Structure 1
Amino acid sequence: MVKIGKKEKNDQLYKAILMLKDEQECYEFFQDLCTVSELRAMEQRFEVASLLNDGMIYNEILERTGASSATISRVNRSLSYGTGAYERLFARMKEKKQ
């Protein structure tokens, strides 16, 4: 998988995200930053990743989320060959639940 290098101009956005204090601030920031369709697309991809991580099959995910098979496939590639960010986040979320 080709990794996209960081660009100087991108650093500010990621540093800003890390400064958000709680879920409400995060929600408000992304509401201001993104269009409704961009937010829905990211929310859908995250849900697909979570369901794939839980072992759900493509057809069930498609039915449950309405995501296209191309989206499900892309997310699956990220889970399999990506940076491991999804897995780290899912592990942290699972830890926090317990």
Structure 2
Amino acid sequence: MNSKLKNSDTDFLFKAILSLENEEECYRFFEDLCTSPELKAMSQRLVVAKMLTEKKVYSEIVKETGASTATISRVKRALFDNDTYGYTLVLDKIAKEENK
């Protein structure tokens, strides 16, 4: 865990997110919390991570998502080169839920 991120404010944010019960509540909360470009950027990164785990190549990811190669590289590093495994954790949970 990144100790630079860990503080009571971030804990409070995560508790708020964990309190949400469905997509509608997420839309309502995140619309208030984030600007449209911020939310689109976060969504794009998650889609990029999914595509990288599906072994898609950069050119295909750029074409489908509009992400820059710098963004793709950053997501790839987070996905494969660090020990947080946040993307992997979420993508695995989504895949399990979809396979039910």
1:20 aligns with 2:5: no
Any runs of at least 4 consecutive aligned residues in structure 1 with deviations exceeding 6 A, and if so which?
A: none
Q: How much has 1:10 moved relative to structure 2?
A: 1.3
TM-score (norm 1): 0.92
Equivalent residue runs for 1:24-35 within 5 Å = 24-35=24-35
Residue in 1 aligned with 2:69? 69
Separation of aligned partners in 1, 2:5 and 2:93: 25
1:92 aligns with 2:89: no
| Paired residue total | 97
Counterpart residue type for residue 87 of structure 1? T
Q: How much has 1:63 moved relative to structure 2?
A: 1.1
Q: How much has 1:7 moved relative to structure 2?
A: 1.2
Q: How much has 1:81 moved relative to structure 2?
A: 2.3
RMSD of aligned Cα (Å): 1.4
CA deviations 1:3-56 (Å, max 9, x no partner) are 334012211100010000111101110011000110111111111111001110
CA deviations 1:46-87 (Å, max 9, x no partner) are 111110011101111011111100000000000012311111
TM-score (norm 2): 0.90
1:8 aligns with 2:8: yes
Separation of aligned partners in 2, 1:93 and 1:85: 12
Residue in 2 aligned with 1:80? 80
Gaps of 5+ in 2: none
Separation of aligned partners in 1, 2:13 and 2:46: 20
